[in-house]
Structure 1
Amino acid sequence: MIDELDVAFEEDAESGGSRRDPRARKSRGRSAIALFLTLLLFGVLGGGVYFGYTKVKSFFVAADYEGSGSTPVQVTIIKNSSLTEIGNELVEADVVKSTKAFLNAADAEPRSKNIQSGTYVLRKQMAAKQAVAQLLDPNTRISRGVTIPEGKTARQTYDLLAKATGIPVKDFEAAAKDPEALGVPDWWFKRTDGRPVAKTIEGFLFPSTYEFDPTANAQQILRTMVDQFLTVTGQLQFADNVPRNLGGIAPFEALVVASLAQAEAGVAADLPKVARVAYNRAYKNKIPLQFDVTTNYWLQLNGKDAKHSGKLTAAEMNDPKNPYNSEIVVGLPVGPINNPGKSALTGAMKPPTASWLFFVAVDKQGRSAFASTDAEHEKNKDKACANGIPLSDC
């Protein structure tokens, strides 16, 4: 029986029924190992790709803080700063972690283009999104823009500055006593026409909108305005172009003319024309300017109110004690009578070529008509009266 079973087993094995081929077992073993190695390789590659992605992503994701920040800090944004410059300033103050994070947050906020210059109370290590929101919140801005219009006198300027900063007018008056200490170079106070020089700050406080540091004192504020005057006149090459264009006239004299034009011209287009009249009367024809604004300036210096031209008295206009008198004195006044803007400075530097000696406002928009003769001037005055301009001759 056993023999029969042995024979049956051997026959079954030979016939391939349940008998295993050793070569098949080896092949399946190699396949399993290959599969394992393949999976292992994909795992390694997948981990590498993820690691690489993480590393690459870190180069493009801007570093940023989280939350609303910690310690309060003041940050001053300079006028006309770009968003990049603002971001750099915030990074410097450790308000945001990176300029890129700030730019991303600003790009996501359409109002970010409205961020104004000034001094803000922010917090260190703020999320960039929070920093943008704070810069757009007017309550975080502790300094306000101060606008000084063109043609304001130094005294009027002190009043505006005092109201905006809380610094007393007397502090500005004290600081202004020494223009050179405020940065006005001494060569500005030179004339070639032989007339006296009023060594004052008048004319050098450039009219503009300023953002002053809340801790700035009167001297620092006035120095900033003088610096702006020097910047603008430097850009215009005023000191070089005036003597070149006007036959040796000193820059100071042209500054005086710019202030006269600023006070007399009713529209910007007339600024260079009024300057031409002043030059013609003072230098070419050597006759008094007869600009009423110089009388009014003297009244204001003495604490009195300015008057309409038709209401000035003969005594006021002919006052021999007035160093700014242009009614009876030939030549330009001893100094500027206000602080002229860029257009007035440009007009005084490059006046048109003309023989005008007279001008008068002829319409309610402030435009003037210019004349070279008395007869032409009389016709212009008739035109002014017909247009309802209140002249003393009407």
Structure 2
Amino acid sequence: MNNLDLGFSSEEEVRPHSRRLARRRRKERRRRRRARIAATVAFLVVVVILGGTVWGGYQVYQKLTVVPDYKGRGTGRVMVQVQEQESLGSVGMKLEKRGVVKSAKAFEEAANENPDSYKVQPGHYQLRKRMAAKLALNRLLDPSAKVQWQITIPEGMRASKVGELLAKKTDIPLSKFHAAAKQPDKLGLPPSANDKIEGYLFPATYLFPPNATATSILRTMVQRYKQEELNLELKEQAKKRGLTIHQVVTLASLLEAEGKEKDFGKVSRVVYNRVDEGMKLQFDSTVTYALGRNHLKVTYEDLKVKSPYNTYKYKGLPPGPIDSPGKAALKAALNPTPGNWLYFVTTNPKTGETKFTDDPQEFQRFKNEYKRNS
């Protein structure tokens, strides 16, 4: 060995060592790469699992916390009745049961959010199925959604005609009203009515629910009369006049049949004056009532009709009202206009002009004027 060999490897010795080192490095890189891939895959698996868990939890949370509710205006028609003093909670349960809202809770929340919810009134309402709770509440707050019969009974209408009008405006047969009128104990008639409805079906505009019956409708009208009787203090005022309530209502019905409202006071005075003088009233309206007619034209033969309502035949007031008097006529019956009149004639049927007098000859002239204008 020479000095040149000391501390040095030959070329053959260096090459195998380098190759082994390179192989180890490549293996290490492949191992680290596989480890990174495995870690990434594991991370993604965890993310997916956690994401699924979170999403599932969110869905459960939604189901547990979000109140079920429909969307939109709904379809079809549903009739729902809100009872007197019924709570909104009860209304919500009723709406859910009828398929209007998806849940009573949704309706309750809508009511809590709406400051006007307390204004929901009792009655029957036309709603839809599968409505958003908010829209269902708005519908209940809309007066136009109320289902009801609106019927106006005019002053001076006879009970027979009232029945016909009610039957026409409702789906209740006329026979039902006839039957109800024959059961005065169920109508709450005042003692002064003597079990007869004529004169005690107060003229006014009424709103009746669709489940109303003939009896309930007539009873409502009688109750309205009784309220007006109290308001006008008819009992006390009639007593001051030496009359009964029934006589006041009867007199008022004559005013409705014989004159216009502007003349009620004068016609009332004519009645008082003729009764005081012992004269017959001789009102055509009482004769046509006795005959069951609706027009005022009568013949001499008609004047002979045997009926206590025939004021050409009998003195004083007829035995009862001949129509339904309104408030103005009732007031005039108790407060006649001061005057000495004994006669009156509507001289111009077209304008309704009516002239009053206490002179028989002038009365005849008025009648001739009427004939010329007829």
Relative to the length of structure 1, the TM-score reads 0.63
Question: Are 2:332 and 1:336 equivalent residues in the alignment?
Answer: no
Trace 1:194-273 onto structure 2 (pairs within 5 A): 199-244=195-240, 246=241, 248-265=242-259, 267-273=260-266
State the secondary structure of the residue aligned to 1:337: coil
Q: Which residue is 1:371 aligned to?
A: 357
d(CA) in 2 for partners of 1:185, 1:272: 26
Trace 1:1-394 onto structure 2 (pairs within 5 A): 72=78, 74-75=80-81, 93-94=91-92, 97-98=110-111, 101=114, 103=116, 119-122=124-127, 127-128=133-134, 131-132=137-138, 140-186=145-191, 188-189=192-193, 199-244=195-240, 246=241, 248-265=242-259, 267-282=260-275, 284-300=276-292, 305-309=293-297, 312-320=298-306, 322-363=307-348, 364-384=350-370, 388=373, 390=374
d(CA) in 2 for partners of 1:102, 1:362: 60
Q: Which amino acid aligns with 1:306?
A: N
State the secondary structure of the residue aligned to 1:279: helix
d(CA) in 2 for partners of 1:345, 1:367: 22
Is the alpha carbon distance of 1:359 and 1:116 closer, same or farther for their aligned partners in structure 2, counting shifts above 3 Å?
A: farther
Q: Which amino acid aligns with 2:249?
A: L
- The Cα shift of 1:242 comes to 1.8
- The Cα shift of 1:385 comes to 5.2
State the secondary structure of the residue aligned to 1:361: strand
Is the alpha carbon distance of 1:166 and 1:72 closer, same or farther for their aligned partners in structure 2, counting shifts above 3 Å?
A: closer
The answer (yes or no) to whether the contact 2:189–2:195 under 8 Å persists in 1 is: no
- Over the aligned positions, Cα root-mean-square deviation in angstroms equals 3.5
Q: Which amino acid aligns with 1:103?
A: D
d(CA) in 2 for partners of 1:137, 1:234: 30
The answer (yes or no) to whether the contact 2:311–2:317 under 8 Å persists in 1 is: yes
d(CA) in 2 for partners of 1:260, 1:202: 12
Q: Which amino acid aligns with 1:289?
A: L
d(CA) in 2 for partners of 1:117, 1:293: 42
- The Cα shift of 1:130 comes to 5.1
d(CA) in 2 for partners of 1:215, 1:102: 30
Is the alpha carbon distance of 1:165 and 1:90 closer, same or farther for their aligned partners in structure 2, counting shifts above 3 Å?
A: farther
Q: Which amino acid aligns with 2:252?
A: A
Is the alpha carbon distance of 1:253 and 1:129 closer, same or farther for their aligned partners in structure 2, counting shifts above 3 Å?
A: same
Greater C-alpha Rg: 2
The answer (yes or no) to whether the contact 2:73–2:135 under 8 Å persists in 1 is: no
The answer (yes or no) to whether the contact 2:147–2:209 under 8 Å persists in 1 is: no
CA distances 1:6-26 after superposition (whole Å, capped 9, x unpaired): xxxxxxxxxxxxxxxxxxxxx
d(CA) in 1 for partners of 2:88, 2:359: 63
Q: Which residue is 1:53 aligned to?
A: none
The answer (yes or no) to whether the contact 1:69–1:127 under 8 Å persists in 2 is: no
- The Cα shift of 1:221 comes to 1.0
Relative to the length of structure 2, the TM-score reads 0.67
Uncovered stretches (5+) of structure 2, i.e. residues with no partner? 1-68, 93-106
Q: Which residue is 1:35 aligned to?
A: none
The answer (yes or no) to whether the contact 2:111–2:117 under 8 Å persists in 1 is: no
Q: Which amino acid aligns with 2:302?
A: E
Give the count of matched residue pairs. Answer: 287
Q: Which residue is 1:46 aligned to?
A: none
State the secondary structure of the residue aligned to 1:93: helix
The answer (yes or no) to whether the contact 2:283–2:312 under 8 Å persists in 1 is: yes
CA distances 1:189-248 after superposition (whole Å, capped 9, x unpaired): 4xxxxxxxx64110000111111121121111110100000011211111111221x2x1
Is the alpha carbon distance of 1:290 and 1:149 closer, same or farther for their aligned partners in structure 2, counting shifts above 3 Å?
A: same
State the secondary structure of the residue aligned to 2:220: helix
- The Cα shift of 1:361 comes to 1.1
The answer (yes or no) to whether the contact 1:75–1:121 under 8 Å persists in 2 is: no
Is the alpha carbon distance of 1:69 and 1:273 closer, same or farther for their aligned partners in structure 2, counting shifts above 3 Å?
A: same
CA distances 1:245-280 after superposition (whole Å, capped 9, x unpaired): x2x111110100000100111x21111221221222
- Share of identical aligned residues, percent? 34
The answer (yes or no) to whether the contact 1:105–1:129 under 8 Å persists in 2 is: no
d(CA) in 2 for partners of 1:105, 1:133: 13
- The Cα shift of 1:154 comes to 0.7
Q: Which amino acid aligns with 2:125?
A: Y
- The Cα shift of 1:299 comes to 1.8
- The Cα shift of 1:307 comes to 3.7
Is the alpha carbon distance of 1:105 and 1:167 closer, same or farther for their aligned partners in structure 2, counting shifts above 3 Å?
A: closer
- The Cα shift of 1:382 comes to 5.0
State the secondary structure of the residue aligned to 1:335: coil
Uncovered stretches (5+) of structure 1, i.e. residues with no partner? 1-64, 79-84, 107-114, 190-197
